[in-house]
Amino acid sequence: MAILLFCLRGVPEDEAFEIRDLLTHHEIDFYETNAGNWGVSMPALWLRDEWQLNQAKQLLKDYQHYRYTSQRDRYLKCKAEGEHKTLIQSFSQNPLSFSIYLVAIGLIVYVSIKLLFELGL
């Protein structure tokens, strides 16, 4: 019976590639399911052999610790060099898109609050 090892929903493509490569390198038998045409299925990595579960979990734990520390170091380096993206930089790079999102958020908040007061809550 297949065992869910790692859900790929929301996982960056480079991370998913590294995890697939890690499992292949350590000869862990797995297969992958995708989200399907409409994105409603669960993209994930599944183990075929239950006996490899502990080894695979330990590899993933070690990899995720490595990934966390490397991405955190990368972020801190960019922040120290002033290269990380700020809210002001996002606005200046694409002001029209930023403004549209801001108006949409404001509209959603307005409609939500208006409905609450109209319903007497």
Q: What is the pLDDT of residues 9-59, one digit of tens each?
A: 999 999 999 999 999 999 999 999 998 889 889 999 999 989 999 999 999
String of DSSP letters for 55-115: HHHHHHHHHHHHHHHHHHHHHHHHHHHT-SPPHHHHHHH-HHHHHHHHHHHHHHHHHHHHH
* CA distances (Å), origin 7, targets 13, 24, 62, 85, 119: 13, 17, 17, 28, 40
Q: Where does 1-84 sit in CATH, by number? A: 3.30.70.1530
Find the length of the chain.
121
68 vs 47: CA distance, rounded Å: 24
Q: How confident is the model at residue 92 (pLDDT cuts 50, 70, 90)?
A: confident
- Which structure tokens are listed for 26? 């350590």
User: Given this model, what pLDDT does residue 84 score?
Assistant: 80
Domain ranges in the chain are: 1-84, 85-121
- Which structure tokens are listed for 108? 């959603």
